């Protein structure tokens, strides 16, 4: 699931020693993308396609 993958990514960022501000920014961006993905009916990371990411970036 996308939510779990975001949690794992955030944990990875923390282990790398990134600043709280950077991690917060990454997390906020990822949560907004998850919302967009859910609206598109995509709830699994494996279903995210390049074109979907481009559409998200273009819309924002």
- Dist. CA 25–CA 12, nearest whole Å: 14
Phi, psi angles (nearest 5°) of residue 48: -75, 125
pLDDT value at 60 more than 90:
no
In tens, the pLDDT along 17-50 reads: 999 999 999 999 999 999 999 998 998 999 999 9
Classify each residue of 3-21 as buried b or exposed e, where b means 16 or more C-beta atoms within 10 Å of its C-beta: eeebeeebeebeeeeeeee
Model pLDDT, residue 55: 87
Domain that holds residue 6: 2-59
Please tell me the total count of domains within the chain.
Answer: 1
pLDDT tops 90 at residue 9? yes
- pLDDT confidence tier of residue 12, bands split at 50, 70 and 90: very high
């Amino acid at each position: 699931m996308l939510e779990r993958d975001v949690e794992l990514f955030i944990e990875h960022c923390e282990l790398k020693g990134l600043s709280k501000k950077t991690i917060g920014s990454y997390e906020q961006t990822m949560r907004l993308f998850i919302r967009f993905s859910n609206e598109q009916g995509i709830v699994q990371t494996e279903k995210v396609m390049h074109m979907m990411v481009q559409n998200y970036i273009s819309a924002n």
